[in-house]
């Protein structure tokens, strides 16, 4: 199958223009599954709860999810993207998986980063693993990358690919850890990061780009530059993520010893 990632520089609050730009970038190539950045239509650095509330959308039914569904119906592709979600009285940092028939799955970010804790309520469960026919997809969002339990949970649930919308600001860190997550779980990972600077409130944020697709052996198959928008597409074999044997004696999952692990203090 063909997996693609998109690297963008959205203007804050310019939802229609940002979605048009995503469409232009997607039109430059073809993929069976596209991964877009975290908050790819809204922008990231909020200055007030009023801004967050105004840009948050219901899922499904909001502008971004509807746009993704329309693109999926027109092309037959699936898309993963991040957006601020209105969930009753809560606002969530959410990733959605959308296909030709509409919303497939949603994941509400569990590990909030920095000032996200001012605006968003954390999710309370891992991403579902969705079988889209060509592969099984699990979702992580940005800072989730630093928590190995998040990726391992999805791999144990059968994910072939970890789709990772991001707004990374720590240079090189998320790119490195997602290589490790791929290697330690023998899965593909696809990180869609953004570029540019937002300096709307507090400390300016410089986004680090280098969106990437990584193999189950931890090899970077493709990577975009630190600056500038773009897309990259790789042909992958999801079956490679289902081979957990390391050698004739060792199997990554069969050799696990959960009885010897302590995951709580």
* Residue 28 domain-assigned (yes or no): yes
Query: What pLDDT digit, counting tens, does each position of 70-86 carry?
Result: 999 999 999 999 999 99
d(CA 150, CA 177): 12
Could you check whether the bond before residue 16 is cis, i.e. omega within 30 degrees of 0?
Answer: no
Residue 46 lies in a domain: yes
Domain assignment of residue 211, yes or no: yes
pTM comes to 0.97
Question: Is 199 a domain residue?
Answer: yes
pLDDT surpasses 90 at 202: no
CATH code, 244 = 3.60.110.10
Distance CA(110)–CA(116), nearest Å, equals 11
Q: CA-to-CA distance for 232 and 213, rounded, in angstroms?
A: 8
What is the extent of the structural domain holding 86?
2-260
**What pLDDT was estimated at residue 88?**
94
Quick check: is 189 in a domain?
yes
The structural domain count of the chain equals 1
**Residues with active-site annotation:** 38, 109, 142
Considering the domain boundaries, does residue 265 fall inside one? no
CA distance 112 to 128: 19
Residue 197 has what pLDDT? 97
Q: How far apart are CA 31 and CA 77, in angstroms?
A: 7
Contact 187, 216 (CB under 8 A): yes
- Residue 130 parent element (H or E): strand 130-131
- Residue 37 within any structural domain of the chain: yes
Q: What are phi and psi of 67, to 5 degrees?
A: -65, -45
């Amino acid at each position: 199958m063909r997996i693609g990632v998109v690297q963008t520089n959205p203007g804050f609050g310019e939802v229609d223009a940002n979605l048009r730009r995503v469409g232009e970038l997607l039109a430059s190539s073809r993929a069976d599954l596209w991964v877009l950045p975290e908050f790819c239509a809204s922008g990231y650095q909020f200055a007030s709860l009023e801004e967050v509330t105004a840009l948050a959308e219901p899922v499904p039914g909001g502008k971004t999810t509807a746009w993704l569904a329309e693109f999926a119906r027109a092309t037959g592709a699936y898309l993963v993207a991040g957006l601020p979600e209105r969930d009753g009285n809560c606002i969530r940092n959410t990733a959605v998986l959308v296909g030709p028939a509409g919303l497939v799955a949603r994941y509400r970010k569990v590990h909030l980063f920095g000032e996200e804790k001012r605006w968003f309520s954390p999710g309370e469960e891992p991403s579902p693993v969705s079988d889209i026919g060509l592969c099984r997809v699990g979702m992580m969002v940005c800072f989730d990358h630093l928590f190995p339990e998040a990726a391992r949970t999805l791999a144990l649930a059968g994910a072939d690919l970890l789709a990772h919308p991001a707004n990374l600001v720590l240079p090189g860190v998320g790119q490195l850890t997602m290589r490790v997550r791929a290697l330690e779980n023998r899965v593909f990972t696809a990180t869609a990061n953004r570029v540019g600077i937002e300096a709307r409130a507090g400390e300016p944020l410089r986004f680090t780009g280098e969106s990437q697709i990584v193999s189950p052996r931890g090899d970077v198959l493709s990577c975009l530059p630190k600056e500038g928008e773009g897309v990259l597409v790789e042909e992958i074999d999801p079956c490679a993520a289902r081979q957990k044997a390391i050698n004739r004696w060792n199997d990554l999952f069969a050799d696990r010893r959960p009885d010897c692990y302590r995951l709580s203090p």
